[in-house]
Structures are given as C-alpha cells and as structure tokens.
Amino acid sequence: MLRLGRREFDAHEPVIMAIVNRTPDSFYDQGATFRDEPALARVAEAVSEGAAIIDIGGVKAGPGEEVTAEEEARRTVDFVAEVRRRFPDVIISVDTWRHEVGEAVCEAGADLLNDAWGGVDPRLAEVAGRFGVGLVCTHAGGARPRTRPHRVAYDDVMADILRVTLGLAERAVSLGVPRESVLIDPGHDFGKNTRHSLEATRRLGEMVSTGWPVLVSLSNKDFVGETLDKPVKERVLGTLATTAVSAWLGARVYRVHEVAETRQILDMVASIAGHRPPAVARRGLA
C-alpha cells in the first residue's frame, strides 16, 4: 500500500505528480509558473486533469544562478501554505535537497519531500521522519546538486540504483518515515548518461520487485531528447512512450508536465493489463 497525505492508493493505481516550478529559469517552461497567479492556475488545472500530487520546486535541477536556502524557501513556503488552503485534499510534494527548506515546507503543510539529489543532505530524511511525511529516495550517482554528469560509469547501473535507493529507504524508515510513505526513484538523467537512463527504464522491473513503490521522473528529459534527437519542446511523444513502458513494468508514481496526456497513457496501460475496465464498452454488444 502507498499512503501519502490523506490518500491511500491501491497496488495497481497509478499516481500522477504534476510539476509546478517556482523558478524563473526552469528548463521546460522557462518560468511560466514563477509568479503566484499562474502557478495557482497550474495547480487547479493539474488537479482537474487527474493529478493527485503537486510537486513544487524552488530551484531548477541544472546549473545556473545560485539560489540560497533562504531564497528557495521564499519561493516555496508561502506557496505551499496557499495550495494547502485552496486544495485541502491534494498531496503536496516539495522538490528540495535541503533540510532547512524541508522543515519550513512541512510546517506549511507539505506531505512529501522529493529528494532528487539522493540524500546529499542526510538531515532531510530526519526532517521527514520528525514530521511523519513521505520521502522520495533517489539515485543520483553521487552527483552534487545542480551538476551535470561527466563521463560517469557504472559496472552495473541498476545494481548501483538498487544499492543506493534501498539503503536510503531503509534509513528513512529507521528515522521515523512511515514505510508506506517511502518511494524509490531511479533518477533518470541524474548522475547518468542517456544509455544509463535507458537501461534503468528497461530494467525498472527489478526496482518494482523490491516491493517499494517506484516513482519515475521522465518528463521531457535529456535522455528522451538524445534518444530521438529532439529539442525540449518536441519530447512529449518520447516521454509518453517511456511512461507506457514504465507503467507496464509496474511504476506507481509519474512526475510529469503533461497531466492529461499522461492520464490517458496510464489508463490505457492499466486496461490492457486488466487492472481497469474500459470507460465505455459498447462495441459488438448492440
């Protein structure tokens, strides 16, 4: 069972996490939701399209202008509180690696801390345990926050992913994070080249078989762009294909920009797998 915030999810229930960046320089939307009004409109749209989780980030993943913990908190904490006020049932996630920011957003009402940099600040898991919120445990290959991989190599990339994420997950539980609220993430593009991310996708079933719910963050990433030789704005189809494969292999949570399109992909895969009936079944029955 997966439990986040007020929600419990069945074993075969896919969960959409919608991205809302509170940054002026995000790689995909270029600051479209930096200001409060468009960001809140984005939340309302994502919820209406089927997102159960809103993932709020105050620092873009890639290199760029320095963002202090104070500035990151300024971009996220009050917004978390407002989203909690307007959408009391939505699951609020915050994408941060810093324990100071994690503590502040938990006090404001966050339900989940999305640690995309793989425990680089070990105190973040302590914060999650103290507040009893969920935690995403990600493989980042030992990379420092906001750095790009350079000639990174693994003897076996999935073996390393399992070693790191399972270790982080067990540590989180030992610190008080509810076991049913811990997710593991292979960390596509984080500390990996394109071939590593493709292999992580191909072997995702090995993560699923551990019993921990698996989160995948695939949306419009560089490994999709390099695989198809497409710029950022032309990666949606590749993202959705990768989403379908991940769903078939058993991933549970999908961090995305395109919510409505992802919902259709996940519903179709679930119906093919026999976990969801068709929305309408008239053909051959009239």
Residues identified as active-site: 221, 255
Q: For the residues of 38-64, what is the DSSP string, one character each?
A: HHHHHHHHHHHTT-SEEEEESS-SSS-
Q: What is the DSSP letter of 200?
A: H
Largest alpha-carbon pair distance within the chain?
63
In 3D space, the residue among 137, 169, 135, 142 whose CA is nearest the CA of residue 157 turns out to be 142
Residue 231 exposed, middle or buried by CB count within 10 Å (0-12, 13-18, 19+): exposed
Q: In what order do the strands lie in the sheet with 182-185?
A: 182-185, 134-138, 112-115, 91-95, 53-57, 15-21, 253-256, 215-217
d(CA 53, CA 46): 9
Do 135 and 115 contact (CB within 8 A), yes or no? yes
Task: Report which of 3, 21, 32 is spatially closest to residue 255, judged by C-alpha positions.
Answer: 21
CA distance 83 to 89: 10
Pairwise CA distance, residues 257 & 14, whole Å = 16
